[in-house]
Structure 1
Amino acid sequence: MSTSVQSPYLPATTESISKAQEAKDASESISILYRVLEDPSSSADALRVKELAITNLTNYLTKENRAEDLRNLLTQLRPFFAVIPKAKTAKIVRGIIDAVAKIPGTSELQISLCKEMVEWTRTEKRTFLRQRVEARLAALLLENQDYTEALTLLSGLIKEVRRLDDKLLLVDIDLLESKLHFSLRNLPKAKASLTAARTAANAIYVPPSQQGTIDLQSGILHAEEKDYKTAYSYFFEAFEAFNSLEDPKAIFSLKYMLLCKIMVNQADDVAGIISSKAGLKYLGPDVDAMKAVADAYSKRSLKYFETALRDYKSQLEEDPIVHRHLSSLYDTLLEQNLCRLIEPYSRVEIAHIAEMIELPIDHVEKKLSQMILDKKFAGTLDQGAGCLIIFEDTKTEEIFPATLETITNVGKVVDSLYMRSAKIMA
């Protein structure tokens, strides 16, 4: 059954399992468990012991980071799957795929493993299991940024599952579709898929972890629309759910909660959330990164802001959601600082502004030209002299807009009279 198998096989009994647990090292335990699986007996007791052996073997192989052996185990167990109920097969298959996912650097292996299992489930006509493995495969493709293949897979799967009305799986797939459309920057479709997931979830009992995922995605979409207050409440709900389950996703919910506080100009609240009982559990680089950003924003300091981005690059810039909102925040902060600095001047050297704001000259020049085009202030850049010339705000006489409005109204009356006279003449 495996290269690890020794001869002869061991009987599928609890004594054999105990022997494996008492072995001096993991390699010996793995060898014993492989031999237990070789037992040809298919009695109820033997099958139950083999299931326990598979669970233990999966745990040992995961701890030893033997991803390829886990993949081979799934292939080797196919004859065993023929003699146990389909629901148990599904549980074992999904358990082994989950185990491979715990081993770092196995995303390509997971994708090929899922594709293999999809082919096998098609051949064996195991629709229930195939749909779940395909959903897992779509999630892996999404993580791998293979959006086209993931979308093609989900489009077919969602129609099939809707027809079968499997609500729990439908929630998973709709959520995946929402994440996929969000990654493709298609916000209307992402919202539509999330609404579909919520509708399906309302009809059934949804596990807390899945409800947390729905809330997390809701928060992300609301934040994208700049509705940070609503986003905060969703992130808080997600954090509560993940925190109670000790799910690793809790740290992301907390991070996004802190981000929302900064974005609504309540950076001073960040320290309070971090020092709360729930917040203290997650102290680490992610929380430190958000605290550094909050401090920089409170001080309105671009220098501190850039230091935070540099010191916590993986926590801030490599998280696409945080990075997108912080880029917007940085632009706002930069514009506020520039407007404050140029206010006293009618003509000022760009180099002097760059020195005061502690940023490179070309960076400042580019931003000033963008602000002029966006009509954030009236002025022009004299690049020959390296100066910014600020125009005085020209006060518009109030009589001019009123005059224009009167002329427009007179024009409408004349047009109306012309139409009436034309009808009379006809």
Structure 2
Amino acid sequence: MMRYLLTFAILSLFLPIRLETGLVLLRPFELITLLSLIIGLTTGRWRGLVFPAGFLLLLPFLGWDMVSAFSVDRENGLRELLQMSAVGAFAFALAQEARRLETDKAVNILLFGMVAILAYTIAWHVAHGYLVGWKHLSDPRLAFSFLPIALAGLLLFANRAKRRTLWFVWAGMLPLLVLSGERKAFLIYLFLTTSLLMRGRLAAMVPAIAASFVGLFVLSTMVDNAYIEKQLQTMLHPLSMGQYEYLAATGKYALGDTPSNVQRAFAFTLSRQLISEHPLMGVGTNQFTNIIDTEFSNLPDELRLGIHGEFQRILTENGIIGLSLYLLIWAAAWFRLSRVLSSALFHELIGAAQARLLPLVVLVPWAFYVGTEASGTRAFVTLILVSLLPELTRHGLCLVLHRARTRHPTSTSHSRFLGRALPGSAR
């Protein structure tokens, strides 16, 4: 049951169900997390609480985020405290369940849920006359970015017969992503495709990625749909910035600009100024949007949005201290996951290609997502999954080995790894 609750909590973040209150934004995520916490603590399921490294590494950053929020004002601090309590409770529940969570089954539930969400999203858009550009439902569209990551993880550990079917499904995602116009999802898909085909060898991935961009250029000259062509062109020029001064002066977008590029250009310029003025501690959590609302109220609404990118937002609002604590979580996750995979490779639980690929197909797309998406509960939950990924991977591999030894007691001799991994938490 707990497996379903935790995976449903993640899936609920892709649903357009929310309740606006005077203080916080409530989603089903908070209610499901609270239910998980009550069941785990009152039923005796979590006897002997564990606090793995992945959980402990989150605490300094989350704590600094709240301190920074209270530096703005009391109401802002209380709002952030409530949000951090919800995501902290999810991290605590996931940390307790990591020892018994069957990762492969959890990924299957996530895949099924995201497919259902995307089927609804596509059907809704087609029914409303949108044959391309399926981005009008802001929450469900994000499943376009996460579905390739989950499918790549499943493909990585699937047996040969199942892998053929998964590759067929993988190829079928390509036209859907093109029609969706979801550029972030499309770039993640291209990166994952080259990573899987090149088996994680960086020397082969670089020219493959370059060839993919050449293919994008050719595709952009062949399509006759103005929207898709525009989306492809923006992917071919990822560093191009919109002319927000032109929009502010004329009320119109310059030729070739998109609303997102113009907003990002404005947010980058303002955040650069704020970082130079408050480099160490930042301006305070959520203060960026307050500054926009008070000092730039004359700008169009599409410009007066938050920063789309956690690394930039954290440096702006939480300063060098906050960004250092944030990057520490990512660096530690990569290092610790590499140690887990090296141990599994040494004991022949996985192959060399799997050991190379898992950090690439999970951590790199997640970093790209949080680096280009607005802050919120989804960004914090992604950070939690990053930090606890070594524990989930280690215990997931041990559960697979445990099931294999139970079914075929004499078929494997990896008892040394099994003895270290099952009890307690990963270090």
Q: Based on CA coordinates, which of the two structures has the bigger radius of gyration?
A: 1
Q: Normalising by the residue count of structure 2, what TM-score does the alignment of the two structures yield?
A: 0.28
Q: Normalising by the residue count of structure 1, what TM-score does the alignment of the two structures yield?
A: 0.28
